[in-house]
């Protein structure tokens, strides 16, 4: 598995019954990447009727595997071209192998192309955020070992969040994840993933939604996006440690991708984790307590494309600070909201209002901004003023911010703050002080 030329310390002779149980009973064609001596594959063949192919770097282990499974390739996964296999598989197994590879992200992506439409991936990866490792790091220690989380042959290191990021980047959807052997001792994470069922083949916009509990708000938000959006898009939800059933909901919806964080990282860090997976030309940052309206995405895309210097585009709303607010409102339900939004758009004589500050409760940004401006500043913690900060940085670089008068988005407003009983006024004051300290003019020398 790990790249040794001989079988050492039983490293390749592992049955892995905990992974066997995750492989579907109806999987007929299985590929075990880093198969070792093939004991896992043999256990599968003893349990169900299947054909197991293995790829293994160690010559000795590959020779032993030939006695246990149907076909073995003695080769290096870093360079192996999966099209050579000329087959599609019901299940791919990455048992403690991705962390040994030079570019596990690329390997996962290229091999996922061999999955059947209903196929799955079973993987296990060591957790570098294990409490023992964290405790060692606090003491300035990072000691490689013959085996385990800090195996000397490990080239890459993962946490739960970064495992999700890797699978998202490969176009996959994690539908099950578990710490192993248990939550109190999370030496590894075991995941099951399938191909994401993104509704559009070539989405131009990634809609990122940040969640921390508030399941019903999230359901409404995503339902409105699916009902009101015709332009090609995909949804990526970044969850900040929900405990209210949100994770079960996210795992069950194959049309969206998601990332699971173990705690509430706040607005900036939470979204930054998702932004590292964005590959579309545009992205939207959205609170989970919003409802979109008809043609919102096509309208915003037309607007943001109209000016090469326009990087950040906001919207009008019922619940937003500053000039983006619309008053009064007279809608009372989803149907009257749609009528109100349409009438509001028709009444606007000017499409774009260029403005130095856009509120990021719902905002479209050109992905090129990540190169020109960077990511959100995480000094603002749970949230507030990261949008002021970003817009200020945009202006300093000679780019523009604006809001689209033709797009009205309903915003319930601060539902996560209310649910978590955060002192909103105190948080605003603290982050305002951080913002002012960051941008306070320096005294001339």
In this prediction, residue 11 has a pLDDT band, given cuts at 50, 70 and 90, of: low
Cβ contact 334:325 at 8 Å: no
pLDDT (average), residues 270-292? 98
Q: Does residue 222 sit in the same domain as residue 183?
A: no
At residue 308, the 3 state secondary structure works out as: coil
pLDDT above 70 (res 173): yes
Position with higher pLDDT, 154 vs 418: 154
Quick: pLDDT tens for 249-264: 999 999 999 999 999 9
Please return the burial class of 79, using the count of CB atoms within 10 Å of its CB with bins 0-12, 13-18 and 19+: exposed
Residue 127's domain is classified under what CATH number? 3.40.50.150
User: Can you give the pLDDT at residue 14?
Assistant: 73
Residue 8 resides in a domain = no
- The number of CA neighbours under 13 Å toward the Cβ of 48 is 16
Of 168, 195, 222, which marks where a domain is finished? 195
- Full-model pTM: 0.93
Residue 231 resides in a domain = yes
pLDDT above 60 (res 283): yes
User: Can you give the pLDDT at residue 416?
Assistant: 61
pLDDT above 50 (res 1): no
Distances (CA, A) of 139 to 134, 135, 142, 143: 9, 7, 9, 11
Host domain of residue 360: 205-439
Q: Does residue 120 sit in the same domain as residue 26?
A: yes
User: Can you give the pLDDT at residue 441?
Assistant: 77
Average pLDDT, the chain: 94
pLDDT above 60 (res 4): no
Residue 392 resides in a domain = yes
Element (H, E) at 131: helix 131-138
pLDDT above 50 (res 7): no
pLDDT above 90 (res 383): no
Q: How far apart are the first and last CA of the chain?
A: 60
């Amino acid at each position: 598995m790990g790249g040794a030329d001989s079988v050492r310390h039983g490293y390749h002779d592992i049955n892995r019954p905990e992974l066997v149980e995750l492989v579907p009973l109806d999987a007929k064609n299985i590929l075990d990447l880093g198969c070792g001596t093939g004991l896992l594959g043999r256990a599968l063949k003893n349990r169900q009727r299947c054909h197991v192919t293995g790829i293994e770097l160690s010559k000795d282990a590959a020779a032993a595997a030939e006695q246990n499974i149907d076909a073995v390739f003695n080769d290096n996964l870093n360079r192996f071209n999966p099209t050579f296999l000329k087959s599609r598989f019901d299940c791919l197994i990455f048992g403690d192998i991705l962390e040994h590879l030079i570019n596990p992200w690329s390997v996962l992506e290229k091999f996922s192309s061999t999955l059947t439409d209903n196929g799955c991936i079973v993987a296990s990866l060591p957790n570098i955020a294990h409490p023992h490792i964290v405790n060692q790091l606090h003491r300035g220690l990072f000691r490689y070992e013959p085996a385990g989380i800090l195996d000397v042959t490990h080239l890459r290191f993962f946490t739960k969040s970064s495992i999700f990021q890797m699978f998202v980047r490969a176009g996959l959807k994690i539908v099950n994840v578990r710490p192993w052997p248990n939550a109190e001792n999370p030496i590894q994470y075991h995941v099951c993933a399938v191909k994401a069922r993104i509704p559009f083949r070539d989405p131009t916009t990634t809609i990122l939604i940040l969640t921390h509990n508030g399941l019903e708000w999230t359901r409404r938000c995503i339902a409105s996006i699916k009902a009101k959006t015709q332009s090609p898009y995909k949804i990526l939800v970044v969850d900040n440690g929900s405990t209210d059933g949100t994770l079960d909901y996210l795992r069950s919806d194959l049309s969206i991708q998601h990332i699971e964080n173990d705690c509430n990282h706040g607005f900036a860090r939470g979204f930054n984790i998702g932004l590292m997976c964005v590959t579309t030309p545009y992205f939207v940052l959205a609170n989970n307590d919003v409802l979109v309206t008809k043609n919102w995405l096509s309208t915003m895309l037309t607007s943001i494309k109209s000016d090469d210097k326009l990087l950040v585009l906001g919207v009008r709303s019922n619940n937003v600070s500053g000039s983006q607010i619309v008053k009064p409102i007279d809608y009372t339900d989803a149907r009257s909201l749609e009528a109100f939004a349409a009438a509001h758009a028709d009444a606007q004589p000017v499409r774009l209002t260029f403005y130095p500050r856009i509120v990021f409760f719902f905002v479209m940004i050109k992905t090129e901004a990540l190169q020109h401006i960077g990511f959100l500043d995480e000094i603002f913690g749970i949230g507030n003023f990261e949008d002021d900060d970003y817009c200020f940085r945009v202006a300093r670089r000679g780019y523009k911010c604006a809001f689209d008068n033709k797009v009205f988005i309903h915003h319930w407003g601060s539902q996560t703050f209310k649910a978590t009983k955060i002192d909103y006024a105190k948080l605003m004051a603290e982050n305002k002080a951080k913002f002012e300290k960051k941008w306070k003019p320096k005294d001339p020398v």
